[in-house]
Amino acid sequence: MQNNPTTSISSVYGPVNSWRAGSSLGIDLIMDPSTCSFNCTYCQLGFIQRITKERKSFVPTKKILEDFKTSEWKDADVITFSGSGEPTLAINIGEVISEIKKITKKPIAILTNATLFNDPQVRSDVLDADLISVKLDAPDDKTLQAINRPAEGINLNLILSGIQKLKKDIVKACHGKPLLQIQTMFMPQNKNQVKELAKLLNEIKPDEVALNTPTRPYPGGWDIITRGAHGEDAKKIKFSTKPLKTLTHEEAKDIENELRELTKLEIVSVYKH
């Protein structure tokens, strides 16, 4: 495999328990080093090693399928594309989804930051998924810079227009799926921006909103293990970690109630689990 020294490490990990989806098998289309068009201050991967919006092939489809077949995929409730960065940066995401669908009918979820959805090829690549969970933490560019620290040239308008185009493509496809979920990480920087976020949610009209707050510490260095480090695995991280500020249960409940009132949307929250 070119440019990627992690051939012996599997591109498939878990299943890990996810509050959103039960037992989730992770597919890592990126692997080493961590690569994303964001560099979120709360990212479980730590400081992103390669911040870019350029798509390319990171891990060959053949390796991913071999890793998948030898994984414990039969034990998973859902197959989740997440891993060591932004999965839509991998140009083979559509091909991998289609090949996995030939092996199993288990639902496929994609966790994405939506920075690439202005590209029609990227939208077409993800349309066969069952759930697309889109990160939206910031209602303005100042907060986007403070929390998500995007690659140069990415701004909130671009992200929102990509999400709207994706929504139109989903409606046009008439499959009733993928379901569009907006996932928002509440932090000290955005916890007082509920009204502004509600306004955006009312424009997007997703099928569901997932409220989150950082539950894993921020690692001080990069190790591929961080992509799925939950529970006991999290203790194997070699680097020092920094705990992040989370919301109190009361703050989370207040935000959930306010958002439900302002949007009338289906809302799920990490604090219920």
Q: Which of 71, 113, 133, 246 binds ligand SF4 (CB under 6 A)?
A: 113
Nearer to ligand SF4, 36 or 65 (CB): 36
Q: Does the bond joining 178 to the residue before it have cis omega, within 30 degrees of 0? A: yes
Under the binding rule (CB under 6 A), the answer on residue 163 touching ligand SF4 is no
Under the binding rule (CB under 6 A), the answer on residue 36 touching ligand SF4 is yes
State which of positions 42-61 bind ligand SF4 (CB under 6 A): 43, 45, 48
Under the binding rule (CB under 6 A), the answer on residue 25 touching ligand SF4 is no
- Is residue 239 within 8 A of residue 225, CB to CB? The reply is no
Q: Is 25 left (phi over 0), alpha (psi -120 to 50) or beta?
A: beta
Using CA atoms, how far residue 67 sits from 10, 47, 73, 99, 117, in Å, is: 6, 27, 10, 13, 28
Under the binding rule (CB under 6 A), the answer on residue 86 touching ligand SF4 is yes
Q: How far is the CB of 149 from ligand SF4 (least distance, A)?
A: 8
Q: How far is the CB of 221 from ligand SF4 (least distance, A)?
A: 15
Q: Which stretch binds ligand SF4 (CB under 6 A): 31-39, 94-102, 120-128, 265-273?
A: 31-39
Under the binding rule (CB under 6 A), the answer on residue 135 touching ligand SF4 is yes
Nearer to ligand SF4, 85 or 228 (CB): 85
- Is residue 115 within 8 A of residue 163, CB to CB? The reply is no
Q: Which two tokens stand for residue 62?
A: 């053949």
Largest interatomic CA distance in the chain: 51
Q: Which two tokens stand for residue 9?
A: 């490490």
